[in-house]
Amino acid sequence: MKTEGYWGLDYSSSILKINSTWVQIARNLELKTNVWTVNTTADFEYFISMGVDFITTDYPHNLKELLESYKFNKSEFLK
């Protein structure tokens, strides 16, 4: 996919919740992942644990606070 000019996938949170395997498939293909529009703490945690690269939100301050509260280290947070 990268050789064809694709750099990643970009879906709404409702689509990625239904198709949660897409994030891992994209990661295996070395593609970036973005999810939108994520606005709750539960959803922030869900998509961070999935390993998405970007989260689009109407509440960036809330996401930043959550990440800081974890003393965010991606390699330790992802399972």
- In this predicted structure, what is the pLDDT of residue 50? 94
Q: Is 45 exposed, middle or buried (0-12, 13-18, 19+ CB in 10 A)?
A: middle
Residue 23 Cα distances to 6, 46, 68, angstroms: 15, 12, 24
> Structure pTM?
0.83
pLDDT in tens, 1-10: 777 888 999 9
pLDDT in tens, 47-64: 999 999 999 999 999 999
Give yes or no for residue 69 having a pLDDT over 90: no
pLDDT in tens, 15-28: 999 999 999 999 99
- In this predicted structure, what is the pLDDT of residue 61? 98
Beta strands at 32-36 and 54-55: parallel, antiparallel or unpaired: parallel
